[in-house]
Amino acid sequence: MAKLTVNEELCKGCGLCVGACPKHILALSKSKLNKKGHSPVELQKPEDCIGCAFCATMCPDCVITVEK
Residues lying near other proteins in the complex (CB under 8 A) are found at: 2, 10, 12-16, 18-20, 38, 51, 53-54, 56-62, 64-68
Per-position DSSP letters for 29-63, written without gaps between them: -SS---TTS---EEES-GGG-----HHHHH-TT--
Please state whether beta strands 41-43 and 64-67 pair in parallel, antiparallel, or not at all (unpaired).
unpaired
| Shortest spacing between CB 36 and other proteins, in angstroms | 9
**CB nearer other proteins, residue 10 or residue 27:** 10
CB of 1 to other proteins, least distance (A): 12
